[in-house]
Amino acid sequence: MNKQEKQEQIVGMFDEIASTYDLANRVLSFGIDKQWRRKGCDKAFAILGQKRVDQIVDVACGTGDLLLYWRERAQKQEIDVARFIGIDPSVGMLQVAREKVDFARFIEGKAQELPLEDGGSDIISISYGIRNVVDRVEALQEFYRVLKPGGMVVILEFTKQEKSGIAAKGVDLYMKKILPAIGGLVSQNYAAYKYLPDSIEGFLTTQMLEEELRSAGFEMKYSKSFSLGISTLLVAQKRV
């Protein structure tokens, strides 16, 4: 299977689970993912340090969940955001997003081929999506291209674990056995949620992802793992 075929297969899988995706996320994370998303938004706004933001772009936006948090946190901190844009290659996900989020513009598109102008965005985010981008290096280069100098990239992702011990074994059991069973039950698509732990196992460690961001021209500003390392937040800035 070549890269294009693999990417199309992943997109097709997300089309199939779009209608139950939000419910499955809440159940599988016990709702803690809301805290992770708010933390990412707050940290990016704090580092950016602006009360006026022209454009926030959420890549692999799925059902538009993170865009709700971007607006919520902006309003709480009295930050004026002119435009919100969601981009995703899954038509099924975008259909749900358009019904749920009425303040953003949604575009069908790939992370590695963003349909956006150079240097026009203040913030680009991607939550639990960079792992599913086959051409990841090209995607990071695209993020750099469309961001303004000093702009922020925010990544939330399940990174590969290197730790050992009882806690790590517990996380491994949950991700490989319990999560696919529950996700499959909620979505009626076991294969999609079996893909999740398999994709994490084949993904990068946090340190490797940080290095790829640096290689793309970003300066790391913040990196933190949550919930025994299940989820990792990385915030980086395009050099001025």
Q: Could you read off the pLDDT of 35-56 as tens digits, one per residue?
A: 999 999 999 999 999 999 999 9
Q: pLDDT by residue (tens digit) across 117-135?
A: 999 999 999 998 898 898 9
pLDDT at 218: 98
pLDDT at 103: 98
Residue 66 within any structural domain of the chain: yes
pLDDT at 136: 93
What is the CATH classification number for the domain harbouring 118? 3.40.50.150
Number of domains in the chain: 1
Q: What are phi and psi of 86, to 5 degrees?
A: -115, 135
Residue 69 within any structural domain of the chain: yes
Residue 45 within any structural domain of the chain: yes
Helix (H) / strand (E) element for 219: namely: strand 218-226
Token duo for residue 97: 């997003």
Q: Starting at the edge strand that comes first in sequence, how are the strands of the sheet with 52-59 ordered? A: 105-108, 80-88, 52-59, 121-127, 147-157, 231-238, 218-226
Task: Please tell me the pTM assigned to this model.
Answer: 0.85
DSSP E strand stretches across 43-128: 52-59, 80-88, 105-108, 121-127
How high is the mean pLDDT in each 10-residue block of the chain (240 residues)? 82 79 68 88 97 98 96 98 97 95 97 97 95 92 98 90 63 66 70 69 82 96 83 92
| Cβ 233 vs Cβ 155: under 8 Å | yes
Residue 190 within any structural domain of the chain: no
Residue 193 within any structural domain of the chain: no
Residue 183 within any structural domain of the chain: no
State how far the Cα of 156 lies from the Cα of 231, in Å rounded to an integer: 7
Structural domain of residue 25, as residue ranges?
Answer: 3-161+204-238
pLDDT at 12: 82
